[in-house]
Amino acid sequence: MNLEIILHAGLATGTILLFAAIGEVLAERAGVLNLGVEGMMLLGAMTGFSVSLATGNPWFGVAMAMLAAGLLSLTHAVVTISFQADQVVSGLSLTFLGTGLALVLGNGLTGQNAALIPNFDIAGLAAIPFVGPAFFKDHSPLVYIGYIFAPLVWLYIEKTRPGMHLRAIGEKPVAADTMGVNVYALRYFYVFVGGCLAGLAGATISLSVSPGWYSAQTTSGQGWIAIGLVIFAQWNPLRAALGAYLFGALRRAILDLQGPRMILGFTNPLFINSNFGFFLQMAPYLLTILALVIGSRAAMRKRLGAPAALGEPYIRGERGL
């Protein structure tokens, strides 16, 4: 149990959740709930890995992963924005479709070795004691991108004009429409961006953080955890990033618990019977539920929370209040 190592691993695995959760924040702030994150991530992970395998260029793999997941998310956009179908069911179908596509197209990728994105140190910063080794040493460039990405998205949503439009179409699409904002086009755009980010999250897994293609095990429910984080984060990208890192660190801490013989002077039960590990593996899922309870209670108390028009199709010309 080494805090520095846990933090380092937490930042790396947290980056996966960070990209996926922030993508979902953007889609949901625009008023479109997309439950297909798991499917999009899986398609992204598969695409990134196989493109890198075929071309030898992992960055090209990342780009294609984003494109593939983005295109997949457009089916959700068409069905929910244009056809005004139920966003919950459509999102679920997207999960099925993404998972199915990824498994069919990724057949035979398991056990292959693709070119991966190499880790590097940030010169200078890496020398800072404790902080340096945890934050700036031997990380994937995607992790460093994640550090600046979350604040940038926050600035974009809260402080820029397009960000204001984004908030408007998620809170009061009628008003936005009257002001001349194209609600339909923008919702398509943010669903697409959310899809691209889920694809990026998938590629972060398969090309960098835990490289390889292990069919549905590659994501193992992280897409769903990301959706849970969005609620926990109250649709705030900065809180989403913090939550993602926290979750990443906890996952690592859980792994590390299996090692030592004694913990705090007590015999480690996992050392006697490794099957107790099953209970430990439940922790991320139970913690997601706990995070949700905390998030939902805060939302109730402060009377804020989900974007007002989340889940509602916008139908021009109909009275929607």
Which position among 1, 3, 56, 96 is part of the footprint of other proteins (CB under 8 A)?
Answer: 96
| Nearest residue (CB) to other proteins, 48 versus 313 | 313
Does 90 interact with other proteins (rule: CB under 8 A)?
yes
Other residues' Cβ atoms within 10 Å of the Cβ of residue 43: 32
Cα separation, 118 vs 101, whole angstroms: 28
Query: In whole angstroms, how close is the CB of 93 to other proteins at the nearest point?
Result: 4
Distance between alpha carbon 75 and the CA centroid of its chain, in Å? 19
Q: Does 297 bind other proteins (CB under 8 A)?
A: yes
CB 256, min distance to other proteins, A = 19
| Burial call 203-228: b when 16+ CB within 10 Å, e when fewer | bbbbbbbebbbbbeebbeebbbbbbb
**Which lies closer to other proteins via its Cβ, residue 96 or residue 130?**
96
Applying CB under 8 A, the span of 72-80, 139-147, 149-157, 187-195 interacting with other proteins comes to 72-80
* Nearer of residues 192 and 224 to other proteins, judged by Cβ: 224
First vs last C-alpha separation in the chain: 54
The residue from 180, 262, 273, 321 that contacts other proteins (CB under 8 A) is: 273
Q: Measure the CA–CA gap between 71 and 87, rounded to whole angstroms.
A: 17
Residues ≥6 apart with Cβ < 8 Å to 225: 17, 247, 284, 285, 288
The β-bridge partners of 262 are: 267
CB-nearer residue toward other proteins: 300 or 308: 300
Q: How far is the CB of 79 from other proteins (least distance, A)?
A: 5
Strands 262-263 and 266-267: antiparallel
Please tell me whether residue 112 binds other proteins under the rule CB under 8 A.
Answer: no
Token duo for residue 119:
């880790």
User: Binders of other proteins among 276-295, rule CB under 8 A?
Assistant: 276, 278-279, 281-282, 285-286, 288-289, 292-293
Q: How far is the CA of 103 from the CAs of 34, 43, 208, 218, in angstroms?
A: 21, 8, 20, 11
Describe the crossing of helices 141-159 and 161-171 by its angle, rounded to 10 degrees: 70
Q: Which of residues 29-58 bind other proteins (CB under 8 A)?
A: 35, 39
Q: Which is nearer to other proteins, 85 or 255 (CB)?
A: 85
Per CB under 8 A, which of residues 208..267 are in contact with other proteins? 215, 221, 224-225, 227-228, 231
According to CB under 8 A, which one of 107, 112, 160, 217 is a site residue for other proteins? 107
Q: Does 130 bind other proteins (CB under 8 A)?
A: no
Nearer to other proteins, 78 or 115 (CB): 78
Both tokens of 36, joined, read 């297909």
Contact between 93 and other proteins by CB under 8 A: the answer reads yes
State the Cα–Cα distance between residues 126 and 282, nearest whole angstrom. 34
H/E stretch holding 22: helix 3-29
Q: At what angle do helices 237-257 and 3-29 cross, to 10 degrees?
A: 140
Closest Cα partner for 255 from 284, 290, 227? 284
Told to check if 296 binds other proteins by CB under 8 A, we report: yes
304 lines the binding site for other proteins (CB under 8 A) = no
In the bound state with other proteins, the residue whose beta carbon lies nearer, of 101 and 238, is 101
Residues in contact with other proteins by the rule CB under 8 A? 35, 39, 75, 78-79, 83-86, 88-90, 92-105, 107-108, 215, 221, 224-225, 227-228, 231, 273, 275-276, 278-279, 281-282, 285-286, 288-289, 292-293, 296-297, 299-300
